[in-house]
Structure 1
């Protein structure tokens, strides 16, 4: 249900030269007129056409608060679908708060987080997947995340879902028509054609579901686990990659006892680096929990940097290889020989030969995290290992966990339809599974989403959007 209140909020960050206040609702224009005086007396705000700017001043009784520009939007042709006004003033905290105070005194209330976008959704200006893309666009930190958010906000994902729903409705309408004429034993839907169509739909849903691993990596960062024995230089490497002292560095074994995470953009790709507790035999309860989490993060990572202390590399490889290599077979495992400044050329060649002999499929690199030597080469190796596709604004890639869960359920339903067609089960059971598939696709667009889900989605938006 759409709230009829007129809402207002500051839509710009503090500290800028210019500030913007958004007002939306049935009375947005009349409330703004109560505190606004145009410099040209004939420029009465409610008489101005939509999409125009009016120059004037905000007043409190006879005191001038600021000279402002008013942008005018009239329902239904606005972002929210309601009458809307944007007040552009100077960015002073006092001015912005004073204008807000005057708007509230004259009938507005302060907007809730995401309420403007929520109203746009409720007024049919966008579906729910497009509304969620607004938050993704604001939060985008790379060219790839920006392109994906723009594609979804422009309706690329929505068009794909609409096409799937139309095809599924065609199937179920044919089957349900047969049910209406069940006594005459009439077949309106050729089962071979229905099977071919169901197979086609299954391929599209599978493709969207499988794209989530790529979309999640682009949106949240490719997870990179930094693992190895204690004192191998994992925390020093993390600090060198981030170019800041994020993790405590010490010669004392077992300094890192918990997981430390941070993200960084390298070559247009966001990486989520995870510094883990050093692996060793220990009777310390807390350190043991940290080591257990190390292996959990190894399982979750897509790229694993096995940091090895170069002077004692042979010993470390013998001790940890059986614990690390089998668990990282499906991942990009990189051997990082750290503290290379402490070994000579002959020892380096010996380690290269060792790695080539025992792990010919793995990539190895020599670095000095302390001196930041080889770190740039490691960054290039990371971008190559990420193996992410080039993303355009026309690509439809799933990045949202809620969408992924709905698509997974839709995929299970269409698999039951395929099995049912194969086993020639009754049309009413087929129709039930098809409608369940449609239900989950509609859930993504927001056609069947309940108020609790909406509240959970929009509460994560910033105020003013």
Structure 2
């Protein structure tokens, strides 16, 4: 795939604002813009140095469209690797469209989604995983997802994969050389060193694959279902966590008929809280639908906060345990947190009795905002953020995850062949496949369909 024409697009969000940036990139970018730009100092921008800014007006046939700042980047020293001009104009939607239409009339083409970053990839300014990280960086809405995207865009993941691929490629070359001298019965590749390399590659691949679980959580947020019987304070807890009246609160059991969702960032990690309808036996048709949705949301959640009611005098605490165990047994793979709300109403003896039944119970008062910090800390403890603190590579992309799985499978085939004394020609086949899947991640192996699918997800102007 080669792109030789000159493209234009709005690089800032569409709509009215103080300033808008229109980006032009391609072999004729500077020439096209110079035809409609008049510098206040009379300079010819074609003759100006790269990475300079110029004040002037966008003009055509005596009509002045706007006074602008023009940023000049000459290839290959630009984001795309091509001649690039960025026009900072006033943010009127009318002005934006007039300038873009003028540039289209002068020979530019409207850029496709992600085409500027696609050109950066094709011109060797970014590898494919770094290009995908650009989209993740734009979409990041919390500290953790921003940190992971920045690390990947700066080449942390690419460098790790490139190093493994280079070492494997060196041994592959020696294996291939042995095939050329098969009649001589010689070994150029040290089998003990090759075995150590394969073990090291397997270890790194498994670590990267395991990091996807954390990466997926960081990228998409952790869904947390708040469940329990009616009127135990689920909606009050949601409102307290979000610090706003998001859910209707009343003393009438069954007030919440539908699920209510909102997101909160805790310690840089996004949590998506879901307030659900109270779980109980009911003949109310609408409430029954809400309870059915409750179990659907619990099914999709990673963490379940189960709020228990305060025991009344003479009430059997085993009934609460039965309900808790019923939910836990129904969803054994979920992270489960039991909360006793209205803690200010419990006596110390009642707390001790409940703790003896449920050792990990957490006492809070949602209405009084007590114990909420402890709840936040408990939720954070469910997420392994050690990799973030240690700045380790974390995988968040499903495409990368699939390629890593396939590469690991091929590496394990090579290990089996090496341990079994398999012939070099058969091992070479598996090595080539492992190298292929490494190359898929960074874009050393790619096709137009793959690139189209990746860059289609980008926004126009990036």
| TM-score, length-scaled by structure 1 | 0.89
Bigger mean CA offset, 385-394 vs 97-106: 385-394
Q: Is the 8 A contact 2:38 2:56 kept in 1?
A: yes
Q: Which residue of 1 aligns with 2:393?
A: 396
Q: Is the 8 A contact 1:147 1:392 kept in 2?
A: no
Deviations 1:90-119 (A, max 9, x none): 222222222112111211222222111111
Q: Which residue of 2 aligns with 1:22?
A: 23
For the residue of structure 1 that corresponds to 2:35, the secondary structure is helix
Find out whether 1:234 has 2:237 as its counterpart. Answer: no
Aligned ranges 1:111-150 → 2 under 5 Å: 111-150=111-150
Q: Which residue of 2 aligns with 1:463?
A: 460
Q: Is the 8 A contact 1:267 1:383 kept in 2?
A: yes
2:325 to 322, 335, 345: 322
CA–CA distance in structure 2, aligned partners of residues 214 and 305 of structure 1: 20
Aligned ranges 1:224-373 → 2 under 5 Å: 224-247=224-247, 251-253=252-254, 255-257=256-258, 260-281=260-281, 286-287=289-290, 289-298=292-301, 301=302, 303-311=303-311, 314=317, 317-326=320-329, 332-340=335-343, 343=345, 345-346=346-347, 349-350=349-350, 352-360=351-359, 362-368=360-366, 370=367, 372-373=369-370
CA–CA distance in structure 2, aligned partners of residues 15 and 315 of structure 1: 61
Deviations 1:177-208 (A, max 9, x none): 22222233222223332222111110111111
Q: Is the 8 A contact 1:333 1:363 kept in 2?
A: no
Q: CA deviation at 1:281?
A: 4.9
Cα pair distance change 1:354/1:415, threshold 3 Å = farther
Q: Is the 8 A contact 1:23 1:86 kept in 2?
A: yes
Bigger mean CA offset, 328-337 vs 221-230: 328-337
Cα pair distance change 1:394/1:241, threshold 3 Å = closer
CA–CA distance in structure 1, aligned partners of residues 253 and 391 of structure 2: 52
Aligned ranges 1:192-231 → 2 under 5 Å: 192-231=192-231
Aligned ranges 1:171-182 → 2 under 5 Å: 171-182=171-182
For the residue of structure 2 that corresponds to 1:196, the secondary structure is helix
For the residue of structure 2 that corresponds to 1:253, the secondary structure is coil
CA–CA distance in structure 2, aligned partners of residues 363 and 442 of structure 1: 49
Unmatched 5+ stretches in structure 1? none
Deviations 1:25-72 (A, max 9, x none): 11111211221111122x101111111112111113212222111111
CA–CA distance in structure 2, aligned partners of residues 286 and 435 of structure 1: 55
Cα pair distance change 1:359/1:318, threshold 3 Å = closer
Q: Which residue of 1 aligns with 2:435?
A: 438
CA–CA distance in structure 1, aligned partners of residues 66 and 353 of structure 2: 73
Q: Which residue of 2 aligns with 1:381?
A: 378
| TM-score, length-scaled by structure 2 | 0.89
Cα pair distance change 1:294/1:220, threshold 3 Å = closer
Q: How many residues align?
A: 454
Cα pair distance change 1:426/1:78, threshold 3 Å = same
For the residue of structure 2 that corresponds to 1:129, the secondary structure is helix
Find out whether 1:156 has 2:153 as its counterpart. Answer: no
Cα pair distance change 1:420/1:390, threshold 3 Å = closer
Q: CA deviation at 1:380?
A: 3.6
CA–CA distance in structure 1, aligned partners of residues 184 and 326 of structure 2: 67
Q: Which residue of 2 aligns with 1:9?
A: 9
Q: CA deviation at 1:385?
A: 4.2
CA–CA distance in structure 2, aligned partners of residues 358 and 216 of structure 1: 35
Cα pair distance change 1:416/1:458, threshold 3 Å = same
Cα pair distance change 1:280/1:421, threshold 3 Å = farther
Q: Is the 8 A contact 2:227 2:276 kept in 1?
A: yes
Bigger mean CA offset, 319-328 vs 185-194: 319-328
RMSD: 2.7
CA–CA distance in structure 2, aligned partners of residues 93 and 151 of structure 1: 35
Q: Is the 8 A contact 1:254 1:287 kept in 2?
A: no
CA–CA distance in structure 2, aligned partners of residues 392 and 374 of structure 1: 26
Q: CA deviation at 1:359?
A: 3.1
Unmatched 5+ stretches in structure 2? none
Q: Is the 8 A contact 2:254 2:277 kept in 1?
A: no
Q: CA deviation at 1:265?
A: 1.0
CA–CA distance in structure 1, aligned partners of residues 227 and 430 of structure 2: 46
